[in-house]
Structure 1
Amino acid sequence: MQLSLIDLAIFLVYMLGILFFGVSFYFKKGRTTDDYMVGGRKLPAWAIGMSIFATFVSSISFLALPGNAYLGNWNSFVFSLSIPIAAWIAVKFFVPMYRELKSESAYYYLEERFGAWARTYASICYLLTQLARMGTILYLLALPMNALLGWDIATIIIVTGIAVIIYASMGGIEAVIWTDAIQGIVLILGAITCLLILLFSMPEGPGQVISIGQEHGKFSLGSMGISFTASTFWVILIYGLFINLQNFGIDQNYVQRYMSAKTEKEAIKSTWFGSSLYVPVSLLFFFIGTALFAYYQAMPELLPASLQTADAADKIFPYFIVNGLPKGLTGLLIASIFAAGMSTISTSLNSSATVILTDHYKKYINRTSSQKTNFRVLTISAVAMGILSILVSLAMTEVKSALDAWWALSSVFSGGVLGLFLLGYFSRRVKQMEAAIGVVLGLLVIGWMSLTPIFISEGPWISFRNPLHANMTIVVGTLVIFLTGFLLSKVLNGKTR
């Protein structure tokens, strides 16, 4: 596939514009580490909300959601329906708590409840998760770019990674939030434009998308049956609730944004805005997938035989972007895909640097470091995490399924930390020992649920394989940690009295 000069120019201008805009914050006079980490606690709610939205949407969402709807139905959209529930819990309990603590770190609270080990454990899990996340996104971003542009995958990974490292490490959270706001707008406009073109390109008009979709059951939200071994409506809803509780409750990416707002009221507004915006936009992506299905059902001659297989579903949208859009719009859509990936990676870089400074450097190395030293640590940390994420991404090229690897790793790390946080917040009598036992037991359960499906597919050990759907891993692991710690505290505290 070859891009026109117009499309290539639009794409390159966008990339350079974002890079220079982000770097410009580095030259802001009188900037402090508080500006770098939380934007001086004075950023507007709408920009923070747009940044929360852009963090939610990665290049995986931009390509995987349409591919998912093209191949199947809207079952995965149920995940988005859980977001308002998680957001309500966040603004009711978590946002006020973090604003009251006034710490840039999401994991300071765990130290207050269970001691330094809990904070260190959670922050290390976060850093490892972010490396896996950034590496996966860089790799998955490079795949469609390789198909669209014909560029070498390793080259795309390195160039994209360096571009994000430059503006995220130099500009700080202000650069991240303002570029996120721009990239979120570009992403939404690109997706809307694409859907409109699909709808009005149908031979019998936009209504044909609805009729073809209904005929093939494309609008179904999944089975309403009570089963935890398949991807039912309830499994996806429960999974989405736990994942989004993790996002809003313990993820440094989100907590830093709560702290960037002027007031608690502004922080709550931004949380509602960012979380609520994702619901209709994810619906837009699913509608694009259904529209693509209807488009190529109505005009099958436009789709090459190589893309008419189930494993090619994720390649349908990139193919349409290059071959079905007018010149100029193709460049905009490619910029949108990059926008989704870059916003997520830049957020992770800034938050990881903040965690390294607050939870490790200032705690264990130099408690009274100067502003100059703090800036140096933040910059070096962001660059180091960026370089490591590029290496992880390059290593992903040797993995059979990057997504499977990411899901397995994220389940292990996120499930353990979420359970510990909920245990500390909702059960005040739990002490260090009960919490530590709960975490160890929970991690063993999460490891069993995550890894046995990968390593046990047949043979005498098949009965030891996790029978539940993969999405239940974080749910079960979190509940094991919470219930273990809670019950142990009841028993041990009773004996003490």
Structure 2
Amino acid sequence: MELSTLDYSIIIFFFLTTLLIGIIVSKRSGKSASEYFLSGRSMPWWLLGFSMVATTFSTDTPNLVTDIVRQDGVAGNWVWWAFLLTGLLTVFIYARLWRRSNVNTDMEFYELRYSGKPARFLRIFRSVYLGVIFNILAMSGVTLAAIKIGQVMLGLSAIETVGYAAVVTVIFSALGGFKGVVYSDFLLFFVAMAGAVGAAYYCVNLPEVNGLENLVSHPNVKDKLSLVPDFDNKEALISLLVIPLAIQWWSSWYPGAEPGGGGYIAQRMLASKNENHAIGATFFFNIMHYAIRPWPWIIVALASLVVFPDLTSIQEAFPDVTQDKLGHDLAYSAMLTKLPSGLLGIVVASLISAYMSTISTHLNWGASYIVNDVYKQYVNKDATEKAQVNMGRIATVVLMALSTLLALALTNAVQIFKYILMFGAGTGLIFILRWFWWRINAWSEISAMFSSGIISILISVPHINGVLFGSDTVEGIFPSWFQFPLVVLITTIIWVAVTFLTKPDDDDILFKFYSRVQPGGPGWSHILEKANKENIEISEKQEKWMVPSGLLAMLLGCALVYGVLFSMGSWIYGNITQAIILTTLSVLAGFLLAKVWKRLGKNLVS
């Protein structure tokens, strides 16, 4: 495949425009750490919402979806569709709480909520654990996808792709800071969506595919179309639907879908003008992320089953692809090589934009932890604003270098997805409850974090499994789908036990936290009683607790978003009656949600 002059012109124009944004905002972004990492807390909901969508529109996401669809069918996407519940819980309950906390990073939250040395340890450890280790893992997955795209579409070696992509992105990220990231995300979103939709339209009309009707009736595709797993296949049903909906969404930490909010989603909520803008941004993000955006990727993935039915056909078509990078996720890039001049340039630009948006967000987010929660707290407490910005720029370069090195050693995106899920298993419930139950302390999180990681390692190492279970794998004694629930179960038992075996946090910290955040609910009644006895006023107003209305709004929001997702699928598949029914239910859910949302606003403490 060769890019035409038109294609190169589109790509170069896009590159220059993005870099220009970084240069224009660099002067203001460099004024202070608050400007560099939070844009002065002045961002509107729509700009932050587009930024959240663009950030999760990474180069590895269509590859991941393609890998899932080719192996487990469309229903396999429930492994991440289930995170909608987490997302809407953040929208209707936690977005407002995060904005009220007024912290600079979600790591700073630890010393607002917990007390003593455990809180300080948790803050610095999680800053390194998430901001560096997990962040590098996530970025390496995105860079791996860029490497595969470079090999298949542009004939570039892994080193060449990493070199070009890393240099441009790190310069842009270091210069523009958070404001540059968000402003460019607005542009990147539309470029990425245009590329994804254009690619889907063209691929489904390739001569080999010959339209949607022929696609959905093709023998390679027919058994991949179901939106839910086969109920007769017990293992697939449990692993693809039951576990994600019953356990995974609330129990596991995953970037962009943290239970109770967190990470770069929290960063955007903290950068919003006020609580209402934080809610609006996260709701817009969840609709776009789960309901609208997946279908162009799914269509290309299904079409790839016709054009490249197996790995052998991909290898034959692209003999220069190295064996260690060959996987089903490569089919997405392979399909894009079929695109005509002009559209090809837009799609390549959209993939570059997806890469830059995601990486720049992760770089700024990770650097914010390093500066605010490590450098300023433990290295240079008297650091000037300029010194903090400079350290942020240095951290940006280092994170980029480390993630690119790891990417060169990986094979496919699913590796990282499963690895991160397993290492976060069992910790999510703490992130949900710590806002509403005073008894959770820093030791709860520390024990959950370490036990989850250690147990995940133990059950994934064959030699250790042979000792523990008498088999090289957990499947030797348990079904294959039980691995994730096992980690969740053991981790939960450990952290609950540790919670009651350790001392509660200091009253002063709990009083301060409640006074600032106003979480409400029966889980704080003990602290409210203590404060009243000491004649300390920590409750601003006796308003109706927001959680019951928030949960109802979450359920209606799920009905709305899933309704839109599945109705779009039904329209695409040509199931008109089902599409009309689902569309009607979606409209009804949206109407009811609007009423509950209005009531929720009245019941919340302003």
TM-score grouping bracket, smaller chain normalisation: 0.7 to 0.9
Q: Do the aligned residues in 1 keep the contact of 2:75 with 2:240 (CA within 8 Å)?
A: yes
**1:331 equivalent in alignment to 2:345:** yes
Change in CA separation of 1:243 and 1:304 when aligned onto 2, cut-off 3 Å: closer
Alignment partner for residue 266 of structure 1, among 271, 277, 302?
A: 277
State the Cα deviation string for residues 176-225 of structure 1 (Å, max 9, x = none). 11222221211111111122223344576432223227972121232346
* CA–CA separation in structure 1 for the residues paired with 2:396 and 2:295: 33
Counterpart for residue 360 of structure 1: 374
Question: Which residue does the alignment assign to 2:152?
Answer: 147
Alignment match, 2:295: 283
Q: Does 2:501 align with 1:486?
A: no
Q: After superposition, what is the alpha-carbon deviation per residue over 1:334-354, rounded to whole angstroms, capped at 9, x for unaligned?
A: 112222222111111001111
1:158 alignment counterpart: 163
Is 1:446 the counterpart of 2:460? The answer is no
The structure having more radius of gyration, on CA atoms, is 2
Equivalent residues in 2 for 1:402-441, closer than 5 Å: 402-403=412-413, 406-407=416-417, 409-411=419-421, 413-415=423-425, 418=428, 420-422=430-432, 424-433=434-443, 435-441=445-451
Partner of 1:195: 200
| Structure ranking higher in helix proportion | 1
Question: Which whole-Å CA distance do the structure 1 matches of 2:362 and 2:480 have between them?
Answer: 25
Seq. identity, %: 19
Task: Provide the C-alpha distance between the structure 1 equivalents of 2:466 and 2:176, rounded to a whole number of angstroms.
Answer: 51
Residue identity in the other structure for 1:268: I
Give, as a single letter, the amino acid of the residue that structure 1 aligns with 2:305. F
> 1:491 & 1:393 partners in 2: Cα distance?
42
Q: Distance in 1 between the 2:33 and 2:448 partners? A: 36
Shift in CA distance, 360/215, structure 1 to aligned 2, threshold 3 Å: closer
Q: Please, which of 334, 344, 350 is the counterpart of residue 319 of structure 1?
A: 334
- Distance between the aligned counterparts of 1:100 and 1:56, measured in 2? 25
- More relative contact order in 1 or in 2 (CA 8 Å, sep 6+)? 1
Q: State yes or no: 1:120 paired with 2:124.
A: yes
What is the deviation of 1:461? Answer: 6.8
**Of 338, 361, 384, which aligns to 1:370?**
384
Deviation at 1:446, TM superposition (A): 2.2
Matched residue count: 483
1:136 alignment counterpart: 141
Residues 415 and 478, structure 1, Cα contact 8 Å, conserved in 2: yes
Compared CA separation, residues 312 and 370, structure 1 to 2 (3 A): closer
SS at match of 2:201: helix
Letter matched to residue 431 of structure 2:
F
Residues 366 and 415 of structure 1: CA distance in aligned 2, closer, same or farther (over 3 Å): farther
How far apart, CA to CA, are the structure 1 residues paired with 2:172 and 2:414?
30
Structure 2 vs 1, CA of residues 248 and 260 (structure 1 numbering), >3 Å: closer, same or farther? farther
Q: Is the 8 A contact 1:47 1:177 kept in 2?
A: yes
1:136 and 1:406 in contact (8 A); partners too: yes
What does the per-residue CA deviation read over 1:293-332, in whole Å, with 9 as the maximum and x for residues that have no partner? 35678xx9xx7782599x653333323322x222111111
What SS does the aligned partner of 1:58 have? coil
Q: Tell me, which stretches of 5 or more residues in structure 1 are unaligned?
A: none
1:258-277 deviation line (CA, Å, top 9, x unaligned)? 01111111111110111210
Residue identity opposite 1:380 in structure 2? I
Cα distance change of structure 1 residues 351 and 312 upon mapping to structure 2, 3 Å threshold: closer
2:215 and 2:18 mapped to 1: Cα distance?
A: 36
Task: Find the counterpart in structure 1 of residue 89 from structure 2.
Answer: 89
Could you say which residue in structure 2 is the equivalent of 1:15? 15
User: Following TM superposition, by how much is the alpha carbon of 1:445 offset from its aligned partner in structure 2, in angstroms?
Assistant: 1.6
Amino acid at match of 2:103: S
The correspondence of residues 4-403 of structure 1 with structure 2, limited to 5 A, is 4-28=4-28, 31-111=31-111, 112-113=113-114, 115-126=119-130, 127-201=132-206, 205-212=211-218, 216-220=222-226, 221-224=228-231, 227=235, 231-237=239-245, 238-240=247-249, 242-243=252-253, 246-247=257-258, 249=260, 251-279=262-290, 280-294=292-306, 306-307=316-317, 313-322=328-337, 324-394=338-408, 396=409, 399=410, 401-403=411-413
Displacement of 1:3 in angstroms is: 2.2
Query: 1:54 and 1:479, CA in 2 relative to 1: closer, same or farther beyond 3 A?
Result: farther
Cα distance change of structure 1 residues 392 and 234 upon mapping to structure 2, 3 Å threshold: same
3-state SS of the aligned residue for 1:256? helix
Q: CA deviation at 1:422?
A: 4.2
User: TM-score normalized by structure 2?
Assistant: 0.71
Tell me which moved more, 95-104 or 262-271: 95-104
Give the superposition deviation at 1:79: 3.5
With over 3 angstroms needed to count, the CA separation of the structure-2 counterparts of 1:288 and 1:403, relative to structure 1, is: closer
Task: Check whether the contact 1:213–1:290 (CA below 8 A) recurs between aligned residues.
Answer: no
How far apart are 1:157 and its partner, in Å?
0.2
Supply the RMSD in Å over aligned alpha carbons.
3.4
Change beyond 3 A, Cα 1:491–1:379: closer
Instruction: State whether residues 423 and 486 of structure 1, in contact with CA within 8 Å, keep that contact through their aligned partners in structure 2.
Output: no
Deviates more, 1:457-466 or 1:484-493: 457-466
In structure 2, the gaps of 5 or more residues are 320-325, 505-606
One-letter amino acid of the counterpart of residue 265, structure 1 = N
